[in-house]
Amino acid sequence: MKNDIHPDYHEINVVMTDGSEFKTRTTWGKEGDTMRLDIDPKSHPAWTGVHRMVDSGGQIAKFNKRFASFGIKS
């Protein structure tokens, strides 16, 4: 195996949508960083069966503004 070609593999904290936390090893971020999830298996419709609109980036508002003249609402 070649030296100095692999990314740093370290431990981070992951915070789920309900506030629970766990540690995992990854190449994301830096040692000790915290990854906060917007969607996880506890809140994703594929696992919960409850469908709701999640608009973290303003896409729904953008859609409604663009198509308001057509009378379409999300």
pLDDT digits (tens, 9 = 90+) for 5-20: 888 899 999 999 889 9
Which pLDDT value is given to residue 54?
65
Residue 10 or residue 71, greater confidence = 10
Q: Is CATH 2.60.40 the classification given to domain 1-49?
A: no
How many Å apart are CA 6 and CA 19, to the nearest integer?
32
Which pLDDT value is given to residue 43?
75
Residue 73 vs residues 22, 31, 57, 64, 67: alpha-carbon distances, Å: 38, 44, 17, 6, 8
Q: Is 26 helix (H, G, I), strand (E, B) or coil?
A: strand
For 18-30, write each residue's pLDDT tens digit.
899 999 999 999 9
